Amino acid sequence: MKLNGVPIDDTFAEAFSMHMNRTLITAYDADWARVTACEATGFGTSVIMSPAEAGIECVLGPDETPDGRPGVRVIFATAKKKHLEHQLIARIGQCVLTSPTACAYDATPNPKETYPIGKNIALFGDGYQVKKGPIDGRVLWLIPRMSGTFVIQQEFGRVKGVAGGNIIYCCKDIESGMTSGKAAVTAIEKVEGAYAPFPGGLVGSGSKPSSKYKVLFASTNELFCPTLRAVVPDTQVPLGCEFVQEIVINGLSEDAVAQAMKVAIEEVCKHSGVMNVTAGNYGGKLGKYQIHLHSLFT
């Protein structure tokens, strides 16, 4: 199968379940909402060592938010349910409350349970905090701060989502890899319920779930390292390839992840210098979801 002349391997991305929350961050302008969202989702790459896999889902206009201001929706994901509540308190409390003009609302669809994140963070008000609502179905806490009132919803939800969707593609050079990758991440932001963790949504150090060293449970994926092409017998790096890019995609549902993978492949294949597209899997041993690349286009 080819798309715009680029071969698409007949393989699948292997994904698995994680516990997720979707939060809406608003601010006085769109740029500052995104700055705040980037801060709140920082150190949110892979649960190999990060405390959560976090990233920006989409950008919203003032007519799409509870307070009529520009907003950015973000998604936080943890491997263990008990860790999600702590991550929400830490990230919203340290990165949104502290951001001038920023406010936070829950945007989790059909949550399985909720956590009193706003009620707990409201203690920062030191007795001056005020509870309001429900207003349009939301119970809110108003917390005084130097940059004005911080508004936060009382309850934030949890759902089971899907993580680990991915595409891997080989490129002739850095420029073709980075240009196509950034365009793909922009396209993913238009898919509701999906997001790409890792720096700017791109993975520069794809890994495998094993290592020759006992202290590690993940290590570099040597099959896709261009500098190892001559010494790795089963290398997946074709001649002429000097740069391999991976994009990992998580989402609130398997359909959201699959749709994001599709638009990412479509965008990548528009760019010259892209040689082929494949995906990472471990024969079904890592997760229960198998998202086949060819099925995305049938």
Work out the average pLDDT over 8-18.
97
Q: Does 2-14+161-297 match 19-159 in CATH topology?
A: yes
User: Is residue 84 pLDDT above 90, yes or no?
Assistant: yes
Q: According to the model, what pLDDT value does residue 140 have?
A: 98
In this structure, what is the dihedral angle of CA atoms 13, 288, 15, 167, given to the nearest 10 degrees? 0
Least confident of 34-38, 134-138, 165-169: 134-138
pLDDT one-digit tens code per residue, 114-143: 999 999 999 999 999 999 989 999 999 999
Q: According to the model, what pLDDT value does residue 285 have?
A: 80
Work out the average pLDDT over 193-216.
95
Q: According to the model, what pLDDT value does residue 105 have?
A: 98
Its CATH architecture, for the domain 2-14+161-297, is 2-Layer Sandwich (3.30)
User: For domain 19-159, is the CATH number 3.30.70.520?
Assistant: yes
Torsion sign (Cα): 207, 14, 292, 269: negative
Q: According to the model, what pLDDT value does residue 283 have?
A: 84
- Give the start-to-end residue ranges of the domains of the chain: 2-14+161-297, 19-159
Q: Indicate the pLDDT class of residue 36, thresholds 50, 70 and 90.
A: very high
Q: Say if residue 19 is exposed, middle or buried (CB neighbours under 10 Å; 0-12, 13-18, 19+).
A: buried
- pLDDT, mean over the chain: 97
Q: According to the model, what pLDDT value does residue 282 have?
A: 86
Beta bridge partners of 14: 290
CB 165 within 8 A of CB 248: yes
Half-sphere exposure of residue 163, counting CA atoms within 13 Å on the CB side? 25
User: Is residue 67 pLDDT above 90, yes or no?
Assistant: yes
* Tokens matching residue 291: 């998202």
Run of H or E including 267: helix 254-268
